[in-house]
């Protein structure tokens, strides 16, 4: 695989295929580098403004590394590496958190029932608690994902989701997830769950893979979501017979060469290269970015505006990553040096 940039034209040579890139592909790498630079500035608690890029300054974009996002950080540090629980409970906790994908919903539940485990999971009790919270005017779900409601007989979406999780415990799906032998198998089990679908199944598989239950690499497997398909369509004029996942892998494998050819400086996550899931997410983000910067480029969805404006969240959270990644900032406090304070990141 090789990358060649000639003037404003960038070509990627993958096997016998040449992928001709648009200006959005240059923006893809600019977006990755600038968003990562903002991340480190925030980590160091430098005062704003953190970027001269007006689009990034005024609209909401995820981090270059998926695991650095605020909700992923809470999942890793509080849900996964919080209270010590058994393997089945770890899987359940991840799925319960991700179904709602909202930190205050999770906190509310644990404040009322204590640490959530598979053995003590009571769908009806949790549904009653969420009824109360909803009646008080609180949102239960994040707007990050569209969460279809499973059809399990309840009047309200949240109760159907809780019934679904109870079903996953009773029908052995949780046990199958615990015993999965690859990232792809995790995905395939989740894709078979009523109402999840391919996109959510892959996202949940990545979330489960943050735990210590699995040794899988994030370079093992990827599934392109709808946003990534849009981003790829804007970045390349023709991908021929390559699937979106083939393009994502080619881009991940050639990241260092692309950045060098384009003369873009990128500071990795303490030496960890961008993984397949990160490159997949960046295609989703460049789809949004291109709506403003490259409005002449058409994606598959036809969307022309970035809906979410950037609103700073001043609540600091501890930054920690799965211990198996070997990064200097780990999610397990006991493994941190006594002289190394936990960095606080405002997201």
Q: Is the pLDDT of residue 97 over 90?
A: yes
Give residues with Cβ within 8 angstroms of 15, minimum separation 6. 1
Quick one: pLDDT band at residue 346, thresholds 50, 70, 90?
Answer: very low
DSSP string of 5-54, one letter each residue: EETTEEEEEETTEEEEE-HHHHHHHHHHHHHHHHHHHHHTTPPSP--S-H
Quick one: pLDDT band at residue 127, thresholds 50, 70, 90?
Answer: very high
- 282/285 Cα distance (integer angstroms): 5
Q: Which of 237, 243, 241 lies closest to 223, judged by CA? A: 243
Instruction: Read off the pTM.
Output: 0.92
DSSP string of 219-238, one letter each residue: TS-----HHHHHHHHHHBS-
Q: Is the pLDDT of residue 266 over 50?
A: yes
Q: Is the pLDDT of residue 336 over 80?
A: no
> pLDDT of 170-228, one tens digit each?
999 999 999 999 999 999 999 999 999 999 999 999 999 999 999 999 999 999 999 99
First vs last C-alpha separation in the chain: 36
Q: Is the pLDDT of residue 5 over 80?
A: no
Q: Which residue has the higher pLDDT, 311 or 327?
A: 327
- Report the mean per-residue pLDDT for the chain: 90
- 252/243 Cα distance (integer angstroms): 15
Q: Is the pLDDT of residue 101 over 50?
A: yes
> pLDDT of 305-317, one tens digit each?
777 777 665 555 4
> pLDDT of 278-310, one tens digit each?
999 999 999 999 999 999 998 887 777 777 777
Give me the mean pLDDT over the 154-165 stretch: 98
Site of tokens 């050819």? 261
- 258/49 Cα distance (integer angstroms): 28
Q: Which residue has the higher pLDDT, 45 or 264?
A: 264
Helix residue spans in the chain (DSSP H): 23-43, 54-58, 70-74, 87-100, 103-113, 123-135, 157-170, 173-178, 183-191, 197-208, 226-235, 244-253, 255-262, 276-293
By residue count, the chain amounts to 347
The CA-based diameter of the chain, rounded to the nearest angstrom, is 62
Give me the mean pLDDT over the 99-104 stretch: 97
Q: What is the pLDDT, as a whole number, of residue 343?
A: 52
Tokens of 1: 């695989």
- 5/25 Cα distance (integer angstroms): 11
Tokens of 33: 């580098």
């Amino acid at each position: 695989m090789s990358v060649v940039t000639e003037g404003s034209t960038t070509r990627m040579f993958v096997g016998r295929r040449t992928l001709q890139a648009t200006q959005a592909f240059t923006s893809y790498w600019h977006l990755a580098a600038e968003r990562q630079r903002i991340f480190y500035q925030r980590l160091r608690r430098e005062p704003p403004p953190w970027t001269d890029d007006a689009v990034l300054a005024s609209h909401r974009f995820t981090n270059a590394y998926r695991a650095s996002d605020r909700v992923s950080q809470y999942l890793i540090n509080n849900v996964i590496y919080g209270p010590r629980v058994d393997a089945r409970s770890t899987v359940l906790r991840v799925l319960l958190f991700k179904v709602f994908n909202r930190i205050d919903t999770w906190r509310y539940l644990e404040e009322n029932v204590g640490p959530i485990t598979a053995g003590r999971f009571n769908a009806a009790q949790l549904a009653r608690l969420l009824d109360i919270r909803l009646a008080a005017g609180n949102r239960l779900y994040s707007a990050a994902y569209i969460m279809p409601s499973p059809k399990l007989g309840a009047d309200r979406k949240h109760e159907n989701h809780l019934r679904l999780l109870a079903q996953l415990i009773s029908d052995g799906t949780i046990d199958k997830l615990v015993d999965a032998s690859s990232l792809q198998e995790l995905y395939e089990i989740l894709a078979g769950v009523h109402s999840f679908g391919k996109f959510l199944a892959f996202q949940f598989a990545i979330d489960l893979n943050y735990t210590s239950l699995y040794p899988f690499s994030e370079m093992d497997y990827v599934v392109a979501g709808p946003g990534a398909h849009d981003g790829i369509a804007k970045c390349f004029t023709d991908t021929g017979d390559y699937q979106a996942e083939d393009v994502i892998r080619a881009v991940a494998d050639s990241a260092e060469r692309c950045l060098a050819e384009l003369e873009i400086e990128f500071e990795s996550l303490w030496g960890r290269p961008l993984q397949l899931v990160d490159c997949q997410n960046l295609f989703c983000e460049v789809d949004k970015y291109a709506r403003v910067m490259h409005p002449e480029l058409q994606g598959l969805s036809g969307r022309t505006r970035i809906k979410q404006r950037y609103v700073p969240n001043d609540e600091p959270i501890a930054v920690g990553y799965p211990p198996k990644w070997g990064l200097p900032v780990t999610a397990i406090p006991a493994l941190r040096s006594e002289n190394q304070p936990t960095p606080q990141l405002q997201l």
